[in-house]
Amino acid sequence: MTLQTGTPAESRFTGRWFIRRDIFDFDSQWSGRFQGQGHFRPISRYGRAYAEEGTLQFAGLHSVKATRRYGYEIAGPDRVDVFFEDGRFFHHFDPAGQEAWAEHLCDADLYEVRYLFDADDRWRAEWRVEGPRKNYRMVTRYDRDQARLSEPLRR
Amino acid sequence: MARPRDDGDVRAALAGKTVIYEFEKQTFFASGRTSFDAGILDWGHWEVRDGQYCSLWPPSDVWACYDVSLRNWAGVTQVRFTGQDGDESLGTVME
């Protein structure tokens, strides 16, 4: 019998991650930073409910609490689909390599992302958003919460 | 939650199934292997003894056994593992 092992994408998009997100708005010249935690909760073998929460601070302003939620579907070893919280399709990318590109058009604003999968416990997403209403760059770094791994949760 | 009646019931409840915990998932292969995925994949062994689910996770050579109880609600099957110290974990069973 051949054992069905999880794909690298199944493992990567599981569990808890520390997040640091740097944002730079080219029009206003404002910079901001989000710091928090995100977790991928399995809702099926290939489905994940992603949620993150933390604090967002723009230079010179008070920090505010911020949250995000997305749905991830591991459609195959070389395809991950990302959905907005309301179920609308966002984008898809290939998680099999060390680098992946994707884009999403929202009205006239173009969202382009470059994913970099540096290591099993580290990855990042570099977004460039450009259009009539938006003009910013956003880099998110994900580092796995190693403490969670050491907890004896398995049965 | 209802406790399975005998070894065969426990085995039937878990063999070939994947259990989704809060952030992790564990698959119970009919061969007696089990995998636990919390972002990093661990491999262990499982079997049923005296109506209890037992598992071994190398490099440890100590088997740990748990009472198993099941509940089916609105088409969703939940499983609860209860250890000797009363420690519990609750998961959802996927086919």
Distance from the Cα of B40 to chain A's closest Cα (Å) equals 6
Question: For residue B14, what are its two tokens?
Answer: 């878990």
| Half-sphere exposure in the Cβ direction for A125 (13 Å, CA) | 15
Identity of the residue numbered B34: T
Cα–Cα distance for residue pair A105/A90, rounded to 1 Å: 9
Residues of A with Cβ-Cβ distance to B13 under 8 angstroms: none
Residue A149: in which H helix or E strand, if any? Answer: helix A146-150
What average pLDDT values come out for chain B (95 residues) when binned by 10 residues?
Answer: 78 92 87 87 92 91 92 81 85 83
Interface of B with A in 24-53 (CB under 8 A): 24-27, 29-31, 33, 35-42, 44, 53
Are A140 and A120 in contact, with CB atoms under 8 Å apart? no
pTM (2 decimals)? 0.68
The answer on pLDDT for A125 being more than 80 is yes
pLDDT digits (tens, 9 = 90+) for A134-153: 999 999 999 988 765 555 56
Chain B interface includes A144 (CB < 8 A): yes
Nearest CB to B24; choose among A43, A144, A153: A153
pLDDT digits (tens, 9 = 90+) for A46-103: 888 999 999 999 888 889 999 999 999 999 889 999 999 999 999 999 999 999 999 9
| Half-sphere exposure in the Cβ direction for A133 (13 Å, CA) | 6
pLDDT digits (tens, 9 = 90+) for A8-44: 788 788 888 999 999 999 998 899 999 999 988 878 7
| Half-sphere exposure in the Cβ direction for B89 (13 Å, CA) | 20
**Chain position carrying tokens 């005296």:** B50
| pLDDT for the residue numbered A45 | 73
Cα–Cα distance for residue pair A79/A96, rounded to 1 Å: 8
